[in-house]
Amino acid sequence: MCAIRSGLSSGKRTGRPRSAAADRAILAATRSALAEVGWSRLTLGDVAARAGVAKTTLYRRWPGKNELVVDAVAALFEEQLELPDRGSLEADIRGVVLRFAELLDRPETRTALMAVIAEATHDDALRLRIRAAIVDRQKHLVVLGRKRAQQRGEIPPDDPADPADPENPSDPSDPDAPAGGAAAPWRDNLIFDVVAGAVVHRVMVSSEPVDEEWARRLAGLLVVGLGGLHTARNLF
């Protein structure tokens, strides 16, 4: 996260420091306005007025609407990064599903997430910002859950003999690789896309609630399917 850096390089800076309270007020005002008027009708002038700051202050910290909204939403993802160990892979998946759904339950998250993703289609810098602030944190939960399941013996440990994905060779810049140092990161990424994608689609497109019942069904589907991917990995 973090706005425009005012100081040039190193830490020590002179002069009047930026108000951290203003930062919080601006981000909160952004979320509030987002929930009320939506993305397209959101104006920076309105945000500044809600936050009780001048419009120019806003532009001194964020280049534009997109970046501000990303930071405003990213703050919601900062709070609860860890996930308690619920004792089984199935329960952990249910936990992460409900955790993610809880975030999407806030109207400002719903509106903002889709909007910034749409904007990121034409803005590489914005995509990186989203990845660092939001996506990587969610993906970390998947890696964590997989490692726990391996420790429990629910799924086999990483097999060094398991050949790397031929279509995703171990390229240093390969986004399939950096996460957990696993031998087969494509499984983590597949699960990540399935879990996060299904929850988002359920909430945003199908407009149906993600409740305990649905989470149980999705987790059941995945646990059984994951077992199949390991036991009969060359079946398909």
Question: Which SS3 state, helix, strand or coil, does residue 166 take?
Answer: coil
How far is residue 88's CA from residue 85's CA, in Å, rounded to a whole number? 8
* Number of Cβ within a 10 Å radius of residue 124: 9
**Piece of 6-14, 37-45, 76-84, 156-164 that binds its own copies (CB under 8 A):** 37-45
In the complex, least distance from residue 150 CB atom to its own copies, rounded to whole angstroms: 18
Report the residue from 33, 103, 115, 143 that binds its own copies according to the rule CB under 8 A. Answer: 115
Counting Cα atoms < 13 Å in the Cβ hemisphere of 227 gives 9
How far is residue 57's CA from residue 134's CA, in Å, rounded to a whole number? 25
Q: Residues 118-147: x/- map of binding to its own copies (CB under 8 A)?
A: xxxxxx---x--x----x------------
In the complex, least distance from residue 139 CB atom to its own copies, rounded to whole angstroms: 9
Is 172 a residue that touches its own copies (CB under 8 A)? no
Of residues 23 and 90, the one with the C-beta less far from DNA: 23
In 3D space, the residue among 186, 46, 68 whose CA is nearest the CA of residue 133 turns out to be 68
The residue type at 5: R
Is 207 a residue that touches its own copies (CB under 8 A)? yes
Q: Residues 152-171: x/- map of binding to its own copies (CB under 8 A)?
A: -------------xxx----
